Structure 1
Amino acid sequence: MISKTVVNKVPKKDKKQALLDSALALFVDQGFHATSTASIAKKAGVATGTLFHHFASKDALLNHLFMAVKLEFAEDISQGILTRGQTGKDLKSDAEHLWQHAIDWALQNPIKQRFFLQYSMSSEVDATIREQAMNSVLHFVVVLIEKGQQQGIIADFPIPLMLANCHGQYLAAIRYFTDHPQWGDDVSQRQASFELFWRSMKVD
């Protein structure tokens, strides 16, 4: 009697997502350069050739993953905007809602938060991908900044520079709350994080 080895196969439609999930975990835990395509495929439960069917290279996989996480983040924030509804009358209140919702997302998605911290300013992610994520995916932040500048509330600096500053402030905040998890639900600490962000943008 010939024994058959039971292999856990990933459904075809789930293979790409399995590869992305595996890459996310390994890139965060081991770093980009220490992670091989073979290890990503093994963790995903697929053949290495399957990885190259979906992604031309490990660099392409990282870029795709970066955009996927950014899109998920943007979609969550956008839903928060729709749920609350931006008043347009109190720009600071609208900005704080976005800020606090973004902090909540990071705290609720610790692995993706760590991915943000490791790769958001990394040269391993293609510069055009980072720029696309900033200007296209997070377009609602651009709208908020432009509105604030038109109203004379937000400093009149170049939009790309303002976006980079917002991004840096956000990364600093989620790093702080990662290092001090006891403050994640503290209202005064959360409020202070927003005030620091707001003061970096508003007109003196």
Structure 2
Amino acid sequence: MSSTPIVRTDKKQAILDSALQLFVNKGFNATSTASIAKAAGVATGTLFHHFPTKKDIMSQLFLSIKQEFATNMVSNTQFSGDIEQDANTLWQKAIDWAIAQPLKQLFFLQYSMSADIDADVRKQAMNSILGFVVELINRGKQQQIIADFPNALLLENCHGQYLAAIRFFTDNPHLGDDEIHRSASFKLFWQAMKA
């Protein structure tokens, strides 16, 4: 990683961008707020003006990346009304995003299940930002296509399946466009969800 500061007119975003690189490359605990400020090209006081604690940086970074991920998944997506087909469309868009955003995906792989992200922040990301996934699950349950298990457990399972798939494609980038592997990743996910 280069030690050149990230030059941005938006200091808050520069802090988040720098934190992303440092958290992925050095880890949350090994990254100081001073190193984030230095990499962002801002004073430490500026960092604390925007984020009172390093944990606040982590939470905001997690939520902003989840929002970007969610926006990408639903933008220009034509939903057919067929639960399985719509789930597959979202799944494939999610995998595409992961392949196109390797640093952000590494962040998710490292921190999505980590105690460094508060459970309330993870819950907010899943229920608010990714609310369309909850809606799809609820419609699937109403139509008896998706298993009638508690939503919180289904959402954790969805998330775990997704993290496993992107770990596979991150470790095997040459298979990212392989139709057999992409299709199999969805089928494994779907088998765990269906009624």
TM class by smaller structure? over 0.9
Q: Which whole-Å deviations, capped at 9, do the CAs of 1:25-81 have from their partners, x for residues lacking one?
A: 0000000000000100100111111100100110111111110110110111120xx
TM-score between both structures, scaled by the size of structure 2: 0.95
CA contact (8 A) 1:77 1:102 kept: yes
- 1:137 maps onto 2:129 in alignment: yes
- Counterpart CA distance in 2 for 1:9 and 1:107 is 23
Amino acid in structure 2 at the alignment position of 1:171: L
Amino acid in structure 1 at the alignment position of 2:114: S
- 1:66 maps onto 2:62 in alignment: yes
Query: CA 1:49 to 1:131, structure 2 compared with 1: closer, same or farther past 3 Å?
Result: same
- Counterpart CA distance in 1 for 2:117 and 2:125 is 11
Q: Which whole-Å deviations, capped at 9, do the CAs of 1:71-121 have from their partners, x for residues lacking one?
A: 110111120xxx232111x21111100000000000000000000001101
- 1:86 maps onto 2:85 in alignment: no
- 1:193 maps onto 2:189 in alignment: no
Which ranges of structure 2 fall in alignment gaps of 5 or more residues?
Answer: none
- 1:115 maps onto 2:100 in alignment: no
- 1:127 maps onto 2:119 in alignment: yes
TM-score between both structures, scaled by the size of structure 1: 0.91
* Identical residues among aligned pairs (%): 62
Larger gyration radius, structure 1 or structure 2: 1
Aligned length: 191
Give the superposed CA RMSD.
Answer: 1.3
Which ranges of 4 or more aligned residues in structure 1 deviate by more than 6 Å? none
CA contact (8 A) 1:69 1:112 kept: yes
